[in-house]
Structure 1
């Protein structure tokens, strides 16, 4: 069905649709960060996949939703005494976050169906697009699974579930970006497999994986509020290596649950990753002559510099919401630039094949 009417120029149309989806997913990741930073994620205590798109429309409906919220730990332990007007503010952040998730599902599925029925999808590409759709559905389920962890005993979600939720969102975004790049460049020819160029491509893919792990590390920081533990840089308090590292029993658990250890590890990971990215960019600039590849390497350095400035500023200013959200967006931007570099190295023009 997908090959009967397929023409190579259809790739651009499909790619433009996916670009629109990726932009909305990027916005979804930012909004999710703001929802977390403003303490709004537990304001909706029910998961209504279909009817949940309709917000409270009357004062009585608002009061009913507020009364349900007051039965849960966040209100009882943190927001006791909150007014209905105050509740409306945090509710709307989470409401918009969930509605945007549903919008992404519609934005993806309807054009996918149209493109498939018209045979405009490149042969072999449909399974990848269907996988993206399935992963999107899993993301919605994982989001509610995460919220549930904050509705039981403690008024905060599990940092493990938060990391899984953010990690899947970023994985969907990164996978979609790779598909977009494949479609945009029409890579119908095999990539070269000779000399150092293959090694650079594999190295770039490894760096993509490290940036992704760095994002997961940041999710642990967010999930435990470890960013508030030390607001100094480059030292953590009076020393570079703070006291109390890995003080939990067993010691390895501190990497996931102790705020001092989590922030220290996140900083060290950032230093290591920065050195690797800069070093790799230098190697690429020394060995490559193609302008596209050189600009891709410089783009990684630029995104890295921005992310480091945002991260340090977020710490020093004690995690203001706009800067912290920008830091999360900067992480996705850094991942995007690294994916672009990896894709460019692996999918060369035929002149180098």
Structure 2
């Protein structure tokens, strides 16, 4: 809730709330763009053009012909019709339009504040970091798409993971600035920082592994739980594979670790529950943290058992934002 009566601070809070919602929305649209295999439908960056979708048959044919030149079409979608192409085009188009909107909204209000509140300029500079990261994210988006246009039928899962990671970094930064402005009360009892830092690192690694899985379509390999088609360790990998850096290209290994890290995170959750109850810490963050992680674990299992149904997979990706912001709140209140 926005409670500040200071016009400057109130403007900042409204702006940060709006930025958070917009970035959350683009992560959702980006995830659906990936899940519907729509990300390569527009084969040019089109930084300043492409604001309007194709408005004539000739324009549609042009974009479709450009798409026909890439491996995804020649090797996989060679039977695709123009009507089917329009569906995947609009997913990617919507993603790019939303990215442009976020870019504008990340800088125009700051310029306004910078010019109007000259005495507050020292408090505005830090917010420009959001704009810089968003510009970098735009470049990463094209860098990712480019990896699927020549020799591959899909984008690099490393670049996909990087693109998602920066998106989550941006929304985390926006959220950190937001709760800092809201002056949320800190814990009277402190959680050991080493434990909390390890927990945060595990969450980040888990999100990266999730992005790897999405990029490699690894969720389609083992759709049983708690076993992996009757095995604890995937039957198509050796023990040595589990400790090889090359295995970051192996979806079976990635899924194995994604599952195991989830169990470790659950153990940390039990430990935090113990601390919260023993020390009588803030029950609100206690409830939110539990719900966020348990909901995400449940969604992961459901997504797996459903054969990566799009609705569940999309919710699972968005659940990572809830988990991440819950942990960030925990870190903030502990400092």
Q: TM-score, normalised by structure 2?
A: 0.92
Following superposition, the deviation at residue 213 of structure 1 comes to 1.9
Q: Which moved more, 1:325-334 or 1:113-122?
A: 113-122
Paired residue for 1:308? 297
C-alpha change, 1:318 and 1:40, in structure 2 (3 Å) is same
Cα distance in structure 2, aligned partners of 1:120 and 1:250: 56
Cα distance in structure 1, aligned partners of 2:221 and 2:315: 20
Contact kept? 1:246, 1:255, Cα under 8 Å: no
Note if 1:174 corresponds to 2:172: yes
Counterparts of 1:1-353 in structure 2, within 5 Å, are 10-119=8-117, 124-185=122-183, 197-200=189-192, 203-246=195-238, 252-289=244-281, 293-346=282-335
State the SS of the aligned residue for 2:200.
helix
Contact kept? 1:11, 1:122, Cα under 8 Å: no
Following superposition, the deviation at residue 144 of structure 1 comes to 0.2
Following superposition, the deviation at residue 249 of structure 1 comes to 7.5
Following superposition, the deviation at residue 131 of structure 1 comes to 1.1
Following superposition, the deviation at residue 277 of structure 1 comes to 2.4
Following superposition, the deviation at residue 18 of structure 1 comes to 0.7
Contact kept? 1:278, 1:301, Cα under 8 Å: no
Contact kept? 1:246, 1:254, Cα under 8 Å: no
The unaligned stretches of length 5 or more in structure 2 are: none
C-alpha change, 1:122 and 1:282, in structure 2 (3 Å) is farther
Cα distance in structure 1, aligned partners of 2:171 and 2:258: 22
Cα distance in structure 1, aligned partners of 2:333 and 2:243: 41
Contact kept? 1:44, 1:94, Cα under 8 Å: yes
Following superposition, the deviation at residue 248 of structure 1 comes to 7.7
State the SS of the aligned residue for 2:244.
helix
Following superposition, the deviation at residue 284 of structure 1 comes to 2.4
Contact kept? 2:41, 2:88, Cα under 8 Å: yes
Contact kept? 2:191, 2:334, Cα under 8 Å: no
Following superposition, the deviation at residue 199 of structure 1 comes to 4.1
The unaligned stretches of length 5 or more in structure 1 are: 1-6, 347-353
C-alpha change, 1:248 and 1:154, in structure 2 (3 Å) is farther
State the SS of the aligned residue for 1:10.
helix
Following superposition, the deviation at residue 244 of structure 1 comes to 3.2
Following superposition, the deviation at residue 344 of structure 1 comes to 2.2
State the SS of the aligned residue for 1:197.
coil
Contact kept? 1:139, 1:168, Cα under 8 Å: yes
Cα distance in structure 2, aligned partners of 1:262 and 1:32: 21
Over aligned residue pairs, what C-alpha RMSD do you find? 2.2
Following superposition, the deviation at residue 305 of structure 1 comes to 1.1
Q: Which moved more, 1:227-236 or 1:277-286?
A: 277-286
Greater RCO (CA < 8 Å, at least 6 residues apart): 1
State the SS of the aligned residue for 1:53.
coil
Q: TM-score, normalised by structure 1?
A: 0.88
Contact kept? 1:247, 1:254, Cα under 8 Å: no
